Every structure is written in structure tokens, then in C-alpha cells.
Structure 1
Amino acid sequence: MPPKKKSPVPCPNLHTLPENAQPRLMDKGTLHCLASQGGAKERYGKGKTPHTIHVWWARRPYSAMRTLVFASLDSGESPKSRNLASDLGRLPVSESKDAEAAAKMLSRQYAEPPRVLDMFGGGGAIALEAANLGCKAFSLDSNPLAVFIQKSLLGFTQEAENWPPDLLMESGRRVLERLERETAPLFPMRNSEKGPVQAYFYTYETACPHCGWKFFLSKRPWLSRKKGREACLEFHPGEEHAVYRIIHPSRDYKPSRLWKKTGIVCPVCGRGCGAPNYSQCREVLTALCRGGHGKGKDFEAGSPEAQADSVIMEEMESAVLAYLGQGLPQTKIPKWSGIFNPAIYGMDSHADFLNPRQRLVLLLLMKSLRTEFKALSQSESETVARCMVGLLSGLVDQLIDWNSRLSMWIPQNEQAGRAFCGPGVPMMWDYAEIDPLLNGPANLWKKLDRIVEGAKAIPSFSTAPDVRLGAAQNLPFKDGLFDAIVTDPPYYDNIFYSSLADFFYSWKKMVISILSPELTGFDSTESPRELVASVQRHNSKLDAHESYCRELTQALCEGARVLKESGLISLIYSHSSLNGWDALVKAFRASPFLITSVQPLCIERKARPRGLASGAVNTCLVFVGRKSAKPKHSQCLSELADRLEDIADCGFAQDLISQGWSEEDAGLALFSQGAALLANSSGESTIDDREALALVEYIVASRLSGFKISRRRSL
């Protein structure tokens, strides 16, 4: 007989349950086994969940959140609970058989559907899964774009009831066919005999202030790095001005560089020119891309024939803006070195990051969406129209993210790359513009397919989630209302949500205005209650840190107020810096919550965008807390060290490694146990939190050498 599979080592219990606490499946300490596998798998899937419809950042896999919500509510007394939770973590969101079984199990444990709150709703995954399990779900966010995304997915789709997916595809095709006709004058080479041009490559030209020589600012000249198809732009001085050509070098070819730490260097006189200003540069079309025969694409030098007539574009833009009753966005891009760089180089407003043709295509798309809304309101109903256009507004996200002056070209796979994947936005001195109505890179037809597939995965709820615009620090709910709080707050300074969201909101609100007009009365999505450690918003790094501590403390205190005495909070968090953990410790300590366990989830994509200078890991942690009226006890460093040593010796971290977790991720799971023990202390002893966290790091690193906590300050 084959040997029995070894049972996983559960997460340690850090504190006994308070008297009024209701035991839950979460208290078994095996969430990492139940949810991580399905969550990680879902991260690599494409077009199978509602995440693919709209752009939002750092969203959690639905499968993992489904398991987390269930484990946060279920009593864990039934032998079936653990198996059911494990099945929930592996299913796609659209396969509801086990979700229905879980909902029935919960209904037998509660006199009425349990109430679940997500205080930081973001993209809405937690609220969707809570409603999917038959709960009364409530979701709050201070960002109006996040609230619109949730209303589109969780509200409009339920109000329209049994809308057919075929209608969404038909409607989307009408929108794109109309857009294709209206953009025809903008792309003279769309119907070229040599084949349509799918992408256009640009860089900038500037003049040396010393010798007057004009040269190019290209930093990313590669067009293709596919083996055997290498293509690169080569720039060099000509007789009168700089010139360029497409070459086909070997893979180890290294283009010449003009950029130094202090700015650019003139290739003729060799003198430093400082940092260039985008508004004083000339934009140059350098290359064109056509669909190749067989594998890869064909590249050729740019041509004036590929450009649209500027007078025609100006006239069309004025006409579209008049139809929409709007002007171009006047909001400013943050000037934030190392985080949001475009404004540092003179790209000031949210109208500047698109070139005239990209901007006009975007405006024509919003015109087409509004036209479709009017037509559907007459042929179907306004409710159905709101549902269809709310989902199809994800096409706007596609254009903004993949077709702007900040969108890069990825030569390794000859595809357009995202501009706004976070955590910041670099300035691009080379960018790719696409024709989004062709069957080429980042086209809208493929995006429509993904929208339809994602929409099919949205369940029908017995009760639609209650989605609200508001701040977690001032919850609009009465005391003791919720059975569980399951939430995923911003992680200190990992993502600056409002600054990223404004690139979308400044344009997308032209469509949001006909769907949710109450969400469009803002110049910016930034809120003074946004939870983020931002030096840009505060006077210093210390002020940014203290503000985050204060606001997270207030949110946790508000969460405790609206949570039932028997309830539970499951708060997801992770960070790579000592400051990020210090903030979490201080906030939990100042709240009425005791942390009873910390359970890791390995649900991140290995190749996801990394935090600047952060050495980000692939694990996030679920802090499970209960309300307690008793004062927290003081403890000394030796007591903290002894307790953490005991936890380390129980084999929990080594068991994670045996399951395939990296030392870095397993180390973070162990480190979080020490941080939770510190948060459960009163802080009235001689312990300095940063000193204590450094000791916790030392204990973890002595067992797992791959683990390290950064000492960087807030960004």
C-alpha cells in the first residue's frame, strides 16, 4: 500500500478565543492548504473570471476569497467543512455546485443569512464571493472608480437579472463596428496593399542646448528579440541631423546609450544636456509593424503616409467632445520622482499621456458606448442598457492601459505592454501605438471576448451586495451588525491606488456619468481618507508613516464597533519593509482585536509587478482577530523570543517548504507570527516595536537564510 499523505502542520494558535467568540473553521489553522492551490492556479488563468473586465490593482483570486469567506463563517463542526472548503478553493467562480452546498451549510448555522463586510472593497472579489455563498454582502471603498467597478459587476448585472451573454457580445460588436467605421480616416494604412499596419513606434527628438544638434532620446530601441527575427532601431549622427534605420543585429547587440544619471549627453559635442522636457521635444514616428507571414511580425521604417491629417483630427475631436458635452481632462499627473515620473519631464495633465490619434480613438469609443446605451434603453430597458454598457466600459480600460504614450513595446514577444500595472508609472521615451480595431496586439476584439467570458462567470445572487462610497474609518453601519469582516486593505505603500485610478477615471467618467452619475462629481479619485503611507500627501516620511498607523487604527476600531461580539475579522496583509509591519502592529494593538492566528496564502503571480525597492514576496497573510474587552498584557523581548522559538520549532515553516513554498515566503509566514504576538501585547513594557521586529527577523533568518525584511522608508 502507498504511504498515507502526511497531514499538513496547522498554523499555530496565538491566543485563546475570547469568551463570546464563536469558533470558526478558520480556527483550525489550515487555510493555507485549503485556498492557496486554487488561488495560485487562478492567477495564471486568462479570461475566466470577472477580474478581466475592468482594470484594478492587487485583486485577490476569487477561488481563494471564496474559501476565506466560508472559513470565516463556518463553525467547522461538520466533518464535511474542510473538504468542502478545499473544493471551493479549486473551482472556477462560475461552477457553483459546491458554492451552493457551502451556502446551504451556512444557512443551517445562521438564523438569517450572515452579514459580511469588506471595508476596502477594491475590485469586489470578497463581496462577490460572500454573496455567492448566500450571505448579505456589504462593500465599501473611498475611491469612486472602485465603487463603479463593483456596481458594474455586482449591482447592474443583478438588476438586469437573466440577461443573455449573447446580448453582451452582440452589443459589444455593434460598439466596435461603429468605432471601426468612425476611426477609418485616422488610420490611412489600415487597408494597405502590403497588409494593415498594426502598430506604430515613436520616440522623441531634442536639440542640444550647447551645439544645437538634434538627436533622439530613445531608450528602448528593440523591435523584436525573437530568435532569428531580431530587429532594432539604430540611431546615429547624420550630416545635418540625427538619423535612424532598422537593423537586424545578433541577440547580444548593445545599442548606444545617451542617458546618464544626470540626464542626457549630446552624441556630437559630448556635453551634458540635463533632463529633457517632453513638451519641448518633437515626437517622431520611427517604425511600423505589420502582421508577419508565419511566426512573428514585420517591421519597416516610419512613413508620413501612416499619419492622419492633423486638421481632420482636430475637427473630429471638437465634434466628439461637443456630442459628449465634455472637455479634455484638466487634472494633473502627480509630480513624484521615482513613482510617477511623466510629470517630472513635463507631461503634466491626464490629456497629455495620449497622443492626438489615441485620444480621439478613446473619445470615439466613449461616443459609441453612449450611443449603444441609448439604443439598448429603447430596445431592451434602461436596466439592461446599464448592465451591458457597464461591462463594455472595460473596453475603455483596455485603450488607456495598452494604447498611450506610456505604453511600452515588449520585443521578446512582439506585443504591447501595459502602462499602468503599478506600483508607479515610468516615463516612456519610446512607445508603441496600436490600431485597436485590427487583429493585432492588444486589440479590442480580443478584449470583448474576455469581457464576455468574465461576465459569464458572475453568479446570480439571492441578495445583491450592498456597494457604497465611503471610508473604512467612518463606517455607515450600526453597532454589532456583521458576523464577519473579511477585508484586504492597501498594504502601506505598495500601491498608490488613487494616483493610478485617476489616469482611468479622468476619461472613463464620460461614460460613468450616464450609468452612475453620483460617482462623477469629483475632479480626482483621491480622498483624504485613502489608506496609504504617501510622502507625496504628507510633509515627511515620518508623517506618512504616522498617518497610515492612525488611519488603519481608526478603521480597525470602526470594524470592531460594527462586528458582533461573536464575530471574526480576517484581514489580509503583507509587506516587505519593517515600517510596513510596524504600522500593522501599532494599529492592531490600539484596536479591540486580539489576533488568534495568522494564516498564509501563496496566491500571487511569481512574475507580478514588484514594489519599488521592496523585494516583494509571493505570500500574503490573513490576520484572524476577535474582539476582546480585556486589556492586553505586557511582555518583554525575551518572552516574545521564547514564544516565537516555540512556534518555529513546531515545524510549521518547514512544512510549508516541503509543500513547495520558497524560503522567503515560508519565512514571511513565520515572521508574521512574531508580528502578531507583538501586536497582542500592550506596548507598555520596555519593548521598542522596531527593535522587537528586528529580533523576530533575526530568529526567522537563523532558520531560513533566504528571509530578509527591508529597512526602507515609506515611498
Structure 2
Amino acid sequence: MNDKRFIEVSFPVKEVSEESAREKNIRHGHISTLHIWWARRPLAASRATSYAALIPAPENVEEWDKKRQFIINLSKWENSLNHSDIAKAKKDILSANGGRPPKVLDPFAGGGSIPLEALRLGCETYAGEYNPVAVLILKCTLEYPQKYGKPKVEKEGWFETKKNPLLEDVKRWGKWVLKEAKMEIGRFYPEDEDGSIPVGYIWARTIPCQNPSCGAEIPLMRQFWLAKKNNKKIALKLFVNNGKVVFEIAKNPDFDPAKGTVKGAIAKCLVCGSTVDANTTRRLFQQGKSGQRMVAVVLHNPRKKGKTYRIATDKDLEAYKEAEKYLEEKRAKLMDEWGIDPVPDEETPEGKGKGAERAFSVRNYGLNTYGDLFNSRQKLALITFTEKVRLSYQKMIEEDYDKEYAKAVVSYLG
């Protein structure tokens, strides 16, 4: 008996690869926006290969051409919710498997692309993972939408509307969390006088120049681009003033912003021109002799399109220092309430051995705990949002939400 699958005989690699590459630029509605996963498979490729692996090999050239073209169309992002295409794919798969949905197992499911597409194609799907982050992603991608996210018809007079209860609650409580967090820590992100809102702060880690006759602060930045589009080129420009490196904003720069002050941990002092070798740079970090400097602020004005940039001011730095003070109060309060430090104090990988532990080690730069990866205001924001998400769960229980359902909602918020 010839039981070859289509994918064993042929597959439109070029076309599906192009759709997979195009998918990287899609944000709205894509599962990649749910949570970062480092080895996430493209949905286009997952959908196309799953289908091609579950239907039989073509019997003739005409059938091959039709199936091949269908696979190309099926891989397109805009067809991922095309009911007629998905229905045809399901029918083909059922027909090829004796009228029963085939069982699909992904034992290393990661971000969930393959099991999601198998579900979309009507398969009985199983996903396994060992990493707890991946397990949470899989629950939010596969389990909770199936369990709680089926639209319900609501009648309002003569009108009927379909509402997804899970979606509505995630939106409702997401707004609540954001509102509560803004009320508490919004003052540490002051608006500009024209109403522009800070949406990002650009910092540089620093080390002192090791030239005994210099000792200037070296901002460690690999490149200086802020915006690099055809119609918008903005960069940071550095110059020396009274023995100190000063920044300014440069539009359409006449220098190469791709050349920074550090490469491979080898740093260059712009004041005296001397270099700091990689081992010395790492040693300075490990000895606690590194610093940090707020360089620029990224802004968005709700009444205008796009982002603007300006150099950080004393007012920006003062807001940060106030956040530092408040972090200590907040941290102590939550430590008393929770019984653990709200700022992650688990050790970062040592960088020994093989694989991810070696690849992701930051110990060489004195970042010994996960909390060390963030500055004070970032820590404050993270623990505040964590607190508000926990409080949202308590409020849901007070409103008689089912505990498992409330857990599903806060899984998306956290």
C-alpha cells in the first residue's frame, strides 16, 4: 500500500518561505504579540506543512498542480481565517484519514505555532512542553480560547450581537490594571509641556576611562541611530565639551551612526582617544565600577503621527530619582505582604557548559541576578503591574468569577 504524504513528494518551499517572511511584519492578530518566544515557527509554514503532511501524495500532474497551488494560498496570512479555504483543508484531511480527525502530537511545542495550525485544520491536537514559560504561552494560545473564548449571542431588544466573553474580560481588566498603575506611578513619567508622552528612555551603561590622565566617563553604545527610515533619519551625535561627552539630536546625520563607542566589549574614550580592552571592561562591571546615564527620551504626541526625540534633561533625571526612592518603599511593602522579594533575585546563568546557559550569561558584566537586568524605574513598573494583576484576580473572585476562568484572564494580563 502506498501511503506517501504530499510533503514527501513535493512542497512549494519558495512560495511558503516568502509568506513566512512576510508574516514577520504582521502584528495585529498574530500570536507572536502574545509573548516572546525565541524559536517560534511561522504560522504560514506550520499551516502549510501540517496540511501537506496529512493529505496523500498526488496521483497525477494535474492533481499535484491543484494541491500545490492550494497550499500556497492556504499559507497566506489573509487566508488564515478564510472559512472556505479552511473548510476545504479540513475536508481533505478528513477524507485522507478515514473520516476521522487525525491525532497530531507536538512534544516540543514551544510557542504553539504547529499545534495551533493543527487545531485550525480540525485535528485532535496534543502539545507538550517542559519550559514553564512555554506552557503558559500554550495555555493562552490553545487551551483557554477553546475553553472560554467561544462567542456567545447576546440579545438587546431586536438586535443580536456575538461577544467573546474571554476577550471582553481581558480588555476590561487590562484597562483596569493600566488605570490603577497609571494612578500610582504615572507621575514618574512626566509629559512634556506640549502634551507629548514619553514612550521610551534611551540609556547608556558607562565605564571610566582607564587612562590615568583622563578618567572621563565612556558611554557604551554600539550605534547611535534613533530612526532609520527613508523619510526619517535621526541619530544621536556625540561631542566633547570640557572633558565630558555630550549628546545632541542630529537629523539627516552627516556621520556614520552605525559606529558606536564599543564593539566586542572593547570601548573607546572620545575624550582622550584611548581604548579599554574587553577584559578590563568586564572587570570594571564585575567590580561595580560601571554606571548608567540617561541619554534621550522617545516621545509620542496623541495629536500627531510618529515619534519625536529629545535629549534627556535634569527634569527627566529628577523623575527617575523620585522613582528610585519610591521603589524602596514599594519593594519593602510588597515584601511584607507577599513574603518574597517582588524584584526577581534568582541568579542569572553562570555561563558555563553548553547551550542556552552559556549563550545567555551576563555574569561577565556584573549582572548576577535577574533583577540586575533592570533599572530602578523599570523594576518599579514591573512590580506595580504585577501587584495590580494580582489585585485584579482578587476582584474577579469578589465578583463571583469562576476561579479557573479568573486564572485564565490574569494569565493574559500578566
| Structure-2 change in CA distance of 1:231 and 1:81 (3 Å) | closer
Cross-structure match for 1:648: none
Aligned counterparts, 1:672-711, within 5 A: none
2:29 match: secondary structure: coil
Q: Could you tell me which of 140, 143, 165 is aligned with 2:128? A: 140
Deviations 1:167-213 (A, max 9, x none): 332222122112211222432x2365664433323223433442362
| Structure-2 change in CA distance of 1:24 and 1:42 (3 Å) | same
Cross-structure match for 1:306: 319
Cross-structure match for 2:32: 51
User: Does the 8 Å CA contact 2:103/2:123 hold for their aligned counterparts?
Assistant: yes
User: Does the 8 Å CA contact 1:63/1:92 hold for their aligned counterparts?
Assistant: no
User: Does the 8 Å CA contact 2:140/2:412 hold for their aligned counterparts?
Assistant: yes
Give the Cα–Cα distance (whole angstroms) in 1 for the partners of residues 8 and 261 of structure 2: 58
Give the Cα–Cα distance (whole angstroms) in 1 for the partners of residues 140 and 232 of structure 2: 46
Cross-structure match for 1:372: 392
User: Does the 8 Å CA contact 2:181/2:388 hold for their aligned counterparts?
Assistant: yes
Give the Cα–Cα distance (whole angstroms) in 1 for the partners of residues 142 and 92 of structure 2: 23
Cross-structure match for 2:81: 94
Aligned counterparts, 1:543-554, within 5 A: none
Cross-structure match for 1:285: 294
Give the Cα–Cα distance (whole angstroms) in 2 for the partners of residues 70 and 298 of structure 1: 47
Letter in 1 for 2:363: A
Give the Cα–Cα distance (whole angstroms) in 1 for the partners of residues 106 and 114 of structure 2: 7
User: Does the 8 Å CA contact 1:323/1:367 hold for their aligned counterparts?
Assistant: no
Q: Matched residue pairs, number?
A: 371
- Displacement, 1:33? 6.7
1:202 match: secondary structure: strand
TM-score of the aligned structures, taking structure 1 as reference length:
0.46
| Structure-2 change in CA distance of 1:237 and 1:216 (3 Å) | farther
| Structure-2 change in CA distance of 1:388 and 1:97 (3 Å) | farther
- Displacement, 1:346? 1.8
Give the Cα–Cα distance (whole angstroms) in 2 for the partners of residues 131 and 388 of structure 1: 21
- Displacement, 1:354? 0.6
| Structure-2 change in CA distance of 1:34 and 1:218 (3 Å) | closer
Q: Could you tell me which of 172, 175, 182 is aligned with 1:173? A: 175
Q: Could you tell me which of 370, 377, 384 is aligned with 2:405? A: 384
- Displacement, 1:353? 0.9
Give the Cα–Cα distance (whole angstroms) in 1 for the partners of residues 225 and 9 of structure 2: 53
Aligned counterparts, 1:347-426, within 5 A: 347-377=367-397, 378-393=399-414
Deviations 1:115-141 (A, max 9, x none): 112232111111112122222212222
- For structure 1, the 5+ residue unaligned runs are 1-18, 394-715
- For structure 2, the 5+ residue unaligned runs are 151-163, 353-357
Deviations 1:597-627 (A, max 9, x none): xxxxxxxxxxxxxxxxxxxxxxxxxxxxxxx
Q: Could you tell me which of 315, 320, 323 is aligned with 2:329? A: 315
1:351 match: secondary structure: helix
Give the Cα–Cα distance (whole angstroms) in 1 for the partners of residues 52 and 24 of structure 2: 21
- Displacement, 1:45? 2.1
Cross-structure match for 1:232: 236
Deviations 1:342-394 (A, max 9, x none): 4322222211111011011011112222222233343432233233222233x
User: Does the 8 Å CA contact 1:342/1:348 hold for their aligned counterparts?
Assistant: yes
| Structure-2 change in CA distance of 1:96 and 1:242 (3 Å) | same
Cross-structure match for 1:183: 185
| Structure-2 change in CA distance of 1:29 and 1:156 (3 Å) | same
Give the Cα–Cα distance (whole angstroms) in 2 for the partners of residues 260 and 312 of structure 1: 35
1:319 match: secondary structure: helix
The higher relative CO (CA closer than 8 Å, separation ≥ 6) is in 1
Cross-structure match for 2:153: none
Give the Cα–Cα distance (whole angstroms) in 1 for the partners of residues 186 and 413 of structure 2: 21
Give the Cα–Cα distance (whole angstroms) in 1 for the partners of residues 192 and 338 of structure 2: 29
Cross-structure match for 1:204: 205
Give the Cα–Cα distance (whole angstroms) in 2 for the partners of residues 249 and 199 of structure 1: 19
Give the Cα–Cα distance (whole angstroms) in 1 for the partners of residues 409 and 264 of structure 2: 49
Cross-structure match for 1:7: none
Letter in 1 for 2:345: Q
Aligned counterparts, 1:108-123, within 5 A: 108=95, 109-110=97-98, 112-123=100-111
User: Does the 8 Å CA contact 1:62/1:126 hold for their aligned counterparts?
Assistant: yes
Q: Could you tell me which of 108, 114, 125 is aligned with 1:126? A: 114
| Structure-2 change in CA distance of 1:94 and 1:180 (3 Å) | farther
What's the Cα RMSD here? 3.4
1:307 match: secondary structure: helix
Structure number having the greater helix percentage: 2
Q: Could you tell me which of 213, 219, 223 is aligned with 1:217? A: 219
User: Does the 8 Å CA contact 2:298/2:307 hold for their aligned counterparts?
Assistant: no
* Structure 2 residue 46 is matched with structure 1 residue 65: yes
Q: Could you tell me which of 262, 267, 273 is aligned with 1:264? A: 267
User: Does the 8 Å CA contact 1:35/1:64 hold for their aligned counterparts?
Assistant: yes
Letter in 2 for 1:356: S
Letter in 2 for 1:232: L
- Displacement, 1:55? 0.8
1:329 match: secondary structure: coil
Give the Cα–Cα distance (whole angstroms) in 1 for the partners of residues 42 and 232 of structure 2: 38
Deviations 1:79-128 (A, max 9, x none): 57556544422354333432233223333332643111223211111111
Give the Cα–Cα distance (whole angstroms) in 2 for the partners of residues 258 and 107 of structure 1: 60
| Structure-2 change in CA distance of 1:301 and 1:270 (3 Å) | same
Give the Cα–Cα distance (whole angstroms) in 2 for the partners of residues 126 and 71 of structure 1: 13
Deviations 1:516-550 (A, max 9, x none): xxxxxxxxxxxxxxxxxxxxxxxxxxxxxxxxxxx
Cross-structure match for 2:160: none
TM-score of the aligned structures, taking structure 2 as reference length:
0.76
User: Does the 8 Å CA contact 2:220/2:267 hold for their aligned counterparts?
Assistant: no
Letter in 2 for 1:263: I
1:217 match: secondary structure: strand
1:206 match: secondary structure: strand
2:372 match: secondary structure: coil
User: Does the 8 Å CA contact 2:299/2:307 hold for their aligned counterparts?
Assistant: no
| Structure-2 change in CA distance of 1:98 and 1:271 (3 Å) | closer
Give the Cα–Cα distance (whole angstroms) in 2 for the partners of residues 265 and 306 of structure 1: 30
Give the Cα–Cα distance (whole angstroms) in 2 for the partners of residues 261 and 134 of structure 1: 49
Letter in 2 for 1:99: I
Q: Could you tell me which of 308, 325, 333 is aligned with 2:348? A: 333
Give the Cα–Cα distance (whole angstroms) in 2 for the partners of residues 193 and 323 of structure 1: 40
User: Does the 8 Å CA contact 1:114/1:136 hold for their aligned counterparts?
Assistant: yes
| Structure-2 change in CA distance of 1:283 and 1:166 (3 Å) | same
Give the Cα–Cα distance (whole angstroms) in 2 for the partners of residues 174 and 136 of structure 1: 37
